[in-house]
Structure 1
């Protein structure tokens, strides 16, 4: 498994910039649109749960679960960007992830932030 299977983030030329900061150096916020989020819930796969249980006895990274979580976070990010774009934003500021258990059957991942329009200073 290569780095592309365990990483995430945006392409360098994304039309909606997503940052974890309050502002973007060299840009000014010209309009705050409001909160946007992308949400996904993934159920647990029985095979990966059994494998994770066995692996946890001997230690080491749970690569199957890591890959699933990366895919889930990336899907939440894609949905966040779609929401921002649909509302006319070209940036999402203060992006965060929230991960919670969903009724003991899966994992909920939410990417959220503030949609805004930014322009170069």
Structure 2
């Protein structure tokens, strides 16, 4: 699979119609979320939600890049987590299991 080709990503443990032929290992992506907003204001809350979505997307993108570096064809069992670093930042984490899959023959 080339570096440019898309890979499967799912929260499921398997991909219908495909068989896992190799488990490569855990892949992780991390992003920081700034919490410097005054959430009592509606516009600040909206901005915080947008930034939260961006942080998750960036963590997911980094996780997928790691999977591609291992020539994975899929990442299964994908999850998100977060960790408070301090009063200003949270760490947003995307992780899953990088695998190689092939189309099932039935």
- TM-score bracket, shorter-length normalisation: 0.7 to 0.9
Structure 1 ranges of 4+ moved more than 3 A: none
Of residues 34, 39, 44, the one that matches 2:30 is: 39
Partner of 1:62, secondary structure, is: helix
Q: TM-score, normalised by structure 1?
A: 0.76
The answer to which structure has the higher strand fraction is 2
Structure 2 residue runs of 5 or longer lacking an equivalent are none
Q: Is the 8 A contact 2:35 2:48 kept in 1?
A: no
Structure 1: segments with no counterpart, 5+ residues: 1-13, 56-60
Q: May I ask how many residue pairs the two structures share in their alignment? A: 100
CA–CA separation in structure 2 for the residues paired with 1:54 and 1:89: 44
Q: How far does residue 103 in structure 1 lie from its aligned partner after superposition?
A: 1.9
- Whichever structure has more helix as a proportion of its residues is 1
What whole-Å deviation, never above 9, does each CA across 1:54-89 have from its counterpart, x for those lacking one?
A: 34xxxxx92111100000000000000000000110
The CA RMSD measured in Å over matched residues stands at 1.8
